[in-house]
Amino acid sequence: MTIEFILQTALATASVGLAGFCLLLARRLRRLNDLETGLGGAIAVMAAEVDRLEKAIRAARAEATEASETLADEITRARNERALWDLRQRIGEAARADPAPAVARRLRKRAEAAHA
């Protein structure tokens, strides 16, 4: 037996071992990628869930934006109503401030001027 024969035998044995290992890996990879029971199915389900969640997030964001705009409009209306209410309060207070003495003095002066 020569060294060359021993090396060729070792090479052939290693090749057969690697071929068996490759077959084992191919079988495991097929099972892993199986869409019903393997990791491929889990990935497909997760991808579908991610899409569903993205749609839900977009819808929630749109609703929040719409609610924010509606709230801003309501705040603007409330401020305008408050300004009108304050104006009405001031007008009412001014009317209650009894402007009669000043009017009465002017009327007396006119009356006195007319009689004189």
DSSP letter (8 states) at residue 104: H
Residue 47 forms part of a structural domain? yes
Residue 1 forms part of a structural domain? no
Domain with 69, as residue range(s), is 28-115
C-alpha–C-alpha distance, residues 47 and 40, integer Å: 10
Residue 10 forms part of a structural domain? no
Number of domain units in the chain? 1
Give the tokens for residue 68. Answer: 């924010």
Residue 63 forms part of a structural domain? yes
Per-residue pLDDT tens digits of the chain, which is 116 residues long = 799 999 999 999 999 999 999 999 999 888 877 767 777 778 888 899 999 999 999 999 999 999 999 999 999 999 999 999 998 888 877 777 655 555 566 666 666 776 66
Residue 33 forms part of a structural domain? yes
Give the tokens for residue 35. Answer: 């869409």
Residue 20 forms part of a structural domain? no
> What's the one-letter identity of residue 3?
I
C-alpha–C-alpha distance, residues 18 and 24, integer Å: 10
pTM of the entire structure?
0.47
* Contact between 30 and 21 (Cβ < 8 Å): no
